[in-house]
Amino acid sequence: MKKIFAYFLSFSKNFIICLSCYLNRPDLCALLLKISLFQPEKFKKKKSKKIIIVLYRSIGQRDVEIINGYKNNDYEFVFLKRVIPKLILNCFSEKNKFINYLKPDVQEKQYLNQNKIDKNNHEKFWTSVILNLKKYFIGKNINFVTFNYSYYAEAALYVGCKNNGIPVKLWHKEGIKNNPKAIEEINTSGVIYGHMFKYFSSISVYNNLMKKIFIKIDKKNKNKISVNGCPRIQDYEIKKKYKKKINTLLFLAFEEKRGIPSWNKNVNWKLSYNRVIKILNDLAKNNQIKNIIIKNKQNLIYKSEDQISDKIKVYNTGTSEKLINQADIIIGHNSTATIEALANGKHVMVPLFEGSKYKKYLFNFQDEVIYTSDKKMKNKILSLVNKKVFFPIKKTNQNKTVKYYLGKSNGIQKRYLNFLNT
């Protein structure tokens, strides 16, 4: 019954938000926006005159939790679901005939093809919404935080903030790329959405690679960007050594084109993916290995040519954090989770069965974790099974990869507070 009531309440609220756009009632929209602000359980203890409104993404919430938990933090974080800017964009663009008020299917083309009149009205509406929203926070300092510069539905919101003197900060949550994808981003997203950077008062990135990319896109970013690392690294770093028998194998299923530029149509990771599944199916017959787990990405489209053994546990939802912490051997590829597994000090194996000529499309992994032979990978796994070893495994080369992408964990909360204070 509670779920039905919550569904009805959300549907009604979002419907009225759209109605406020058609009636040109930004005051009503601001009231509904204020009502829509929420705090997850871990954020409810703190009240402050410094308010950060976070444009919600589940993948970014954990980063904010870590900074929120820091003893010197004096900010109050509240969250706004990104469905609201999407609904409002739909009202000021070439509209979808049938809109899902809970999960609107708003397309990029609705922003890119927005005519001048709709764009001006859209920005004026958001400017008035933010002006009215400020009235609910009298005596408080408001900032907005967003996790990516290419969130097109929020563009008019940024304009509204700028026109009302409210800073918008880019807490960029993406930082794991290889050089080919970095170049592609500069020439694609950078060209389309590079103008968004003018709305951000300060920018935080995980690593120097993203700093270089953003400066390439817009030279003015140089004066407002800071490299602060990835807060989630603290979830994976193990401070105290422990001894454990190796008996759990985790495969972090990967996308067939991850790390490969979109223009390169003939290159993919299907061979590596299929051979890893074959290895896992063979290992599933071995009684010495207690747990074989596959963690699929939620958006994973490609499926293996072979049916997965029913002895293998498959997870299609949730994050990888708990599974990584429980595993002993982790097979991964071009993913943040693979870097996090390295930070966790586990035996990490990266398949490159397409051959060394495709190494340029891999992330910046060290040679010691890359396997170009499925036979060698399988034999290595078998040689490790049932051995008692101390975790975390300390390997200098692997630590280089972790620091290259995720930065250093020491002082990370202080660095992020400095970013929020700028």
For residue range 365-404, list pLDDT tens digits in order.
999 999 999 999 999 999 999 999 999 987 778 889 999 9
**300, pLDDT greater than 80:** no
**352, pLDDT greater than 90:** yes
Pairing label, strands 313-315, 225-227: unpaired
What one-letter code names the amino acid at 305?
Answer: E
**299, pLDDT greater than 70:** no
3-class DSSP assignment, residue 87: helix
Tokens of 228: 């602060």
CB-neighbour burial class of residue 390 (10 A; exposed 0-12, middle 13-18, buried 19+): exposed
Q: Domains, the chain, ranges and CATH? A: 2-229+411-421 (3.40.50), 235-406 (3.40.50)
In tens, the pLDDT along 160-188 reads: 999 999 999 999 998 889 889 999 999 99
Q: What is the pLDDT of residue 399?
A: 87
**131, pLDDT greater than 90:** yes
Residues 6+ apart with CB under 8 A from 307: none
Four-residue CA torsion sign, 359, 362, 366, 371: negative
In tens, the pLDDT along 95-116 reads: 776 788 888 889 999 999 999 9
Compute, in degrees rounded to 10, the torsion defined by CA atoms 122, 128, 133, 139. Answer: 140
In tens, the pLDDT along 132-146 reads: 999 999 999 999 999
Q: How does DSSP classify residue 286?
A: -
Helical residues (DSSP H) of 200-311, grouped into ranges: 208-217, 270-283
In tens, the pLDDT along 183-220 reads: 999 999 999 999 999 999 999 999 999 999 999 999 99
Name which residue leads in pLDDT, 408 or 19: 19
**319, pLDDT greater than 70:** yes
**70, pLDDT greater than 70:** yes
CB-neighbour burial class of residue 2 (10 A; exposed 0-12, middle 13-18, buried 19+): exposed
Q: What is the pLDDT of residue 165?
A: 97
Helical residues (DSSP H) of 100-193, grouped into ranges: 108-112, 116-134, 155-163, 179-187, 189-193
Give 24's pLDDT tier (boundaries 50, 70, 90).
very high
**281, pLDDT greater than 70:** yes
